[in-house]
Homo-oligomer: A and B are copies of this chain.
């Protein structure tokens, strides 16, 4: 039996090139949406509703019992919302049993695009849930698209590195004819031992470190700190049992 295929896309702009209809799409937004999603679910959040606008966030928050609205712009909590985008804001003592309505731009956009294009399944991944993602992809034996959310469609390194980390672990199980995947894995191999210093060279680090988020960003590249599998079902991400 032939192995399933694996492709990596470096920007949402490239999604249309690939056939997602028979694939699991992994949404990757390392700084920080998919790191925060894994963390909140790992700490017992009931579910996470990703939304692409502040208005929707407030409306859904108002309509949902025990919900928390969250979102940032330029490192500050958006007016009208209650919390920010940092994984550190969602310990078990705070988030357990609650619904997090999370406003993000890049990750949510790609997630909705993948659903619209008919993805077979949508999950989210970042270093904190690296093993959960890898184990699921190996077990499912389906085609995989590793979708980097990028930043305003610009390719970024942190999402690429996570794609590379996944490929490094699961490549024997897939047929991979994809230069982006080859590049991602080589970048990961080159930097897996110096990840926390290397990410300081990325454009996104410079953008976010200006807001004092260095500890956050280091957490976001820490493998298996929140090892749960977020799966999108009926409008929300829930932890797969």
Chain A interface residues toward B at CB < 8 A: 10-11, 13-14, 17, 152-157, 160, 177-180, 182-183, 186-187, 190, 201-204, 206
Contact = CB atoms under 8 A, between A and B. Distances in A.
A179 B160 CA distance: 10
A13 B152 CA distance: 13
B186 A202 contact: no
Contacts of A203: 177-179
B202 A179 contact: yes
Nearest to A187: B183
Given A160-B183, A187-B186, A190-B186, A14 B202 contact: no
A60 to B, nearest CB: 30
Contacts of A180: 154-155
A139 to B, nearest CB: 27
Contacts of A178: 154, 203
A154 B11 contact: no
Q: Which 6 A-B pairs have the closest CB atoms?
A: A157-B179, A155-B180, A13-B13, A156-B179, A177-B203, A17-B153
A195 to B, nearest CB: 14
B183 A157 contact: yes
22 contacts: A10-B10, A11-B13, A11-B14, A13-B13, A13-B17, A14-B153, A14-B155, A17-B154, A154-B178, A154-B179, A154-B180, A155-B179, A155-B183, A160-B183, A177-B203, A177-B206, A179-B202, A179-B203, A183-B183, A186-B187, A186-B190, A190-B190
